[in-house]
A and B are shown apart, each in its own frame.
Chain A
């Protein structure tokens, strides 16, 4: 009995000595000037879901130096911890000093931007719309937690089908519509600009073209807007994008629609392009840039759309979210296509349960 107490005393004394000794080395090296509570992060980004897309978004955001804190959330605890550690091991090369991860959403508190990539993804040949109900159920768990810990955040929804899920997120979050954005056709437009620019031998950023509407099979290429250095391609080739076009530019839009399916068939999933696209949006939001991006926003009342649907239109993004929407001049045919997208999406949305 006495011996037990003696050993306990020795242990306690050793711990105390260690602490004192450590403290004295730290004291010798560093003199703190400010001992209050540390400042909360000003540019915190959370990524929900550490699958291929989530991690590509995370790495792109880190390497673009957009955040002063990054939080990762997922349900797979080992994978989550592994990904966090792998990123932390690279912290020497980064300018994001705090990278945290947890199953518990408290780790996401005070985020400015929350990127939602969680959910199931398309299998080979599967349409995005097929994923809906499964992902709605996952969102019912995720979205309220996000809002609870970051009531002032902007949510970027990436999970597919992105337009429907952005609507779902808006409903579940109770956030104002300008703070819920879908990554939408930002990626489709990037792919379109790459393919068109490649045909012309110029850089993607020098080719201007917009794809709007559904991020998916019924996206709308606005041929009237395509231009290089302000020279409208449609003026040079009035049949551009139609079935009568000898040069078959329509094929390029088809390649955009098929892109994701093709990459999935070849490597099993897509991640780099969507990651870069999300980092691009994050930059406009974080840096208050007022840049215009085609992203999914609430379009009720525009182009004759009566339902509450989310579709991609050119939006001005700044630190408040979607500041405004650009009224593109669309041809009657393009308006009809946008309305058709809206109807297809509303058909799915009205069947969704419990939101």
Chain B
């Protein structure tokens, strides 16, 4: 008898059930791994699968995470180039694709990333036909549309990480201004995750006190507090970090874990994420933009109707038109 047989007797007669709360991360670059470590440290899944095309890097990352198993509550961490390893995932986080170089706009990455998605999405769907897709790769709004088209999933199961991060950056800057924790500073950035995102000034509040009611010029020219600059810092945020350290990872990783938490724990929390906005706020085209959405274990089940000013709606329609302009040129 081996040591194992002397030590342990197997008593369960049926097949083991296996994982019930599996998360897959596609792409083990900086964003993928930051998402993975954030998800692991928040104890959100009982199995984590990693997929990528670079086999050595993939194996190395999986080993490095497994070596930390003593400190984690995720018993099974697997990785393979073959998508069969992702079977039965509840949530699949897609971070694969090219990233912005210094000074490059997210929209520039489109065609390269569409081609990558044409390989990835069908493979994900094949092995996890009931999963929720969380798209992070940029330009996220367009790629969420692409993932939706390629997967054939209903719209409530295809979510783009969208402006969840922009709103977090905005709330961080608000927190710095008022010496408060960002969780107590409320503000929503919606629309495109990128240069034309929309800051909804009317909603910015602390303890329910609308800051715009205290400062009616908020966000406009002639605003003595220059809130427009705060929004500009949010838009420039990613470019600045990329210029300093070459890429961004930690903030987007934590933002992804935040979304995965709401889904896995069925929280029904409201997050600004990218969803199909056709028919809302005057948007006519089939585009994905970020608006406040309710996330739970079925996915994106409801959207919140914001009361937007005419200028804000115009900006959204303009974003939608820009995105549609790019989308209609794509070969899917």
A residues contacting B by CB (< 8 A) are 17-18, 21-22, 25-26, 28-30, 55-56, 59-60, 63-64, 78-79, 81-83, 85-94, 97, 187, 190-191, 193-194, 197, 199-205, 228, 231, 233, 236-237, 240, 247, 249, 259, 262-268, 270-273, 275-277, 279-280
User: How far apart are the CA atoms of A60 and B41 in the complex, in Å?
Assistant: 7
Q: Do residues B67 and A191 form an inter-chain contact, with CB atoms below 8 A?
A: yes
Which residues on A sit within 8 Å (CB–CB) of B37?
A: 56, 59-60, 63, 272, 275
Q: Do residues A240 and B3 form an inter-chain contact, with CB atoms below 8 A?
A: yes
User: How far apart are the CA atoms of A259 and B224 in the complex, in Å?
Assistant: 58
Q: Do residues A78 and B244 form an inter-chain contact, with CB atoms below 8 A?
A: yes
User: How far apart are the CA atoms of A247 and B68 in the complex, in Å?
Assistant: 25
Determine if B4 is an interface residue (Cβ-Cβ < 8 Å): yes
Q: Do residues B224 and A267 form an inter-chain contact, with CB atoms below 8 A?
A: no
User: How far apart are the CA atoms of A60 and B40 in the complex, in Å?
Assistant: 10
Q: Looking at the complex, which of B82-90, B208-216, B287-295 is the stretch in contact with chain A?
A: B208-216
Contacts A90-B168, A200-B8 known; 8 new A-B pairs at CB < 8 A: A21-B224, A59-B38, A63-B41, A82-B241, A89-B172, A92-B172, A247-B3, A266-B59
Given the known inter-chain contacts A29-B209, A90-B254, please indicate yes or no for A237 contacting B178, CB distance below 8 A. no
Which residues on B sit within 8 Å (CB–CB) of A79?
A: 244-245
Q: How far does the Cβ of A121 sit from chain B's closest Cβ, in whole Å?
A: 14
Determine if B282 is an interface residue (Cβ-Cβ < 8 Å): no
Given the known inter-chain contacts A81-B244, A199-B4, please indicate yes or no for A92 contacting B182, CB distance below 8 A. yes
Q: How far does the Cβ of B5 sit from chain A's closest Cβ, in whole Å?
A: 9
Determine if B123 is an interface residue (Cβ-Cβ < 8 Å): no
Determine if B64 is an interface residue (Cβ-Cβ < 8 Å): yes
Which residue of B has the minimal Cβ distance to A19? B224
Which residues on B sit within 8 Å (CB–CB) of A271?
A: 64
Which residues on B sit within 8 Å (CB–CB) of A201?
A: 8
Q: A-B pairs with the 9 shortest C-beta distances?
A: A82-B244, A82-B245, A267-B60, A266-B60, A89-B251, A273-B67, A276-B68, A63-B41, A90-B254
Given the known inter-chain contacts A194-B66, A194-B67, please indicate yes or no for A85 contacting B7, CB distance below 8 A. no
What are 20 A-B residue pairs whose CB atoms fall within 8 Å in the complex?
A: A21-B224, A25-B214, A26-B178, A59-B37, A59-B38, A78-B244, A81-B244, A83-B244, A83-B250, A91-B182, A93-B258, A190-B68, A190-B69, A194-B70, A203-B75, A233-B7, A247-B2, A247-B3, A268-B57, A275-B37
Q: Do residues B65 and A272 form an inter-chain contact, with CB atoms below 8 A?
A: yes
Q: Do residues A87 and B251 form an inter-chain contact, with CB atoms below 8 A?
A: yes
Determine if B171 is an interface residue (Cβ-Cβ < 8 Å): yes
8 A Cβ contacts from B32-79 to A: 33-34, 37-38, 41-42, 56-57, 59-61, 63-72, 75
User: How far apart are the CA atoms of A237 and B254 in the complex, in Å?
Assistant: 46
Most A CB atoms within 10 A — which of B2, B37, B69, B255? B69
Which residues on B sit within 8 Å (CB–CB) of A18?
A: 224
Given the known inter-chain contacts A193-B70, A266-B63, please indicate yes or no for A93 contacting B255, CB distance below 8 A. yes
Given the known inter-chain contacts A25-B214, A267-B61, please indicate yes or no for A236 contacting B245, CB distance below 8 A. no
Given the known inter-chain contacts A21-B224, A25-B215, A89-B237, please indicate yes or no for A267 contacting B57, CB distance below 8 A. yes
User: How far apart are the CA atoms of A86 and B2 in the complex, in Å?
Assistant: 51
Which residues on B sit within 8 Å (CB–CB) of A205?
A: 70
Q: Do residues A85 and B3 form an inter-chain contact, with CB atoms below 8 A?
A: no
Q: Do residues B169 and A276 form an inter-chain contact, with CB atoms below 8 A?
A: no
Which residues on B sit within 8 Å (CB–CB) of A191?
A: 67
User: How far apart are the CA atoms of A271 and B36 in the complex, in Å?
Assistant: 13
Which residues on B sit within 8 Å (CB–CB) of A60?
A: 37, 41
8 A Cβ contacts from B6-21 to A: 6-8
Determine if B97 is an interface residue (Cβ-Cβ < 8 Å): no
Most B CB atoms within 10 A — which of A56, A60, A197, A273? A273
Determine if B327 is an interface residue (Cβ-Cβ < 8 Å): no
Q: Do residues B75 and A228 form an inter-chain contact, with CB atoms below 8 A?
A: no
Determine if B129 is an interface residue (Cβ-Cβ < 8 Å): no
Q: Do residues A273 and B57 form an inter-chain contact, with CB atoms below 8 A?
A: no
Determine if B257 is an interface residue (Cβ-Cβ < 8 Å): yes
Given the known inter-chain contacts A91-B172, A237-B3, please indicate yes or no for A83 contacting B245, CB distance below 8 A. yes
User: How far apart are the CA atoms of A274 and B215 in the complex, in Å?
Assistant: 49
Which residue of B has the minimal Cβ distance to A262? B63
Which residues on A sit within 8 Å (CB–CB) of B258?
A: 93
User: How far apart are the CA atoms of A91 and B179 in the complex, in Å?
Assistant: 13
Which residues on A sit within 8 Å (CB–CB) of B165?
A: 89
Determine if B181 is an interface residue (Cβ-Cβ < 8 Å): yes
Given the known inter-chain contacts A59-B250, A190-B71, A205-B70, please indicate yes or no for A272 contacting B215, CB distance below 8 A. no
User: How far apart are the CA atoms of A28 and B71 in the complex, in Å?
Assistant: 47
Q: Do residues B251 and A194 form an inter-chain contact, with CB atoms below 8 A?
A: no
Which residues on B sit within 8 Å (CB–CB) of A22?
A: 224-225
Which residue of A has the minimal Cβ distance to B172? A91
Q: B57 is contacted by which of A29, A92, A231, A266 (Cβ under 8 Å)?
A: A266
Q: A86 is contacted by which of B68, B225, B245 (Cβ under 8 Å)?
A: B245
Determine if B122 is an interface residue (Cβ-Cβ < 8 Å): no
User: How far apart are the CA atoms of A236 and B39 in the complex, in Å?
Assistant: 38
Q: Do residues B245 and A190 form an inter-chain contact, with CB atoms below 8 A?
A: no
Which residues on A sit within 8 Å (CB–CB) of B255?
A: 90, 93
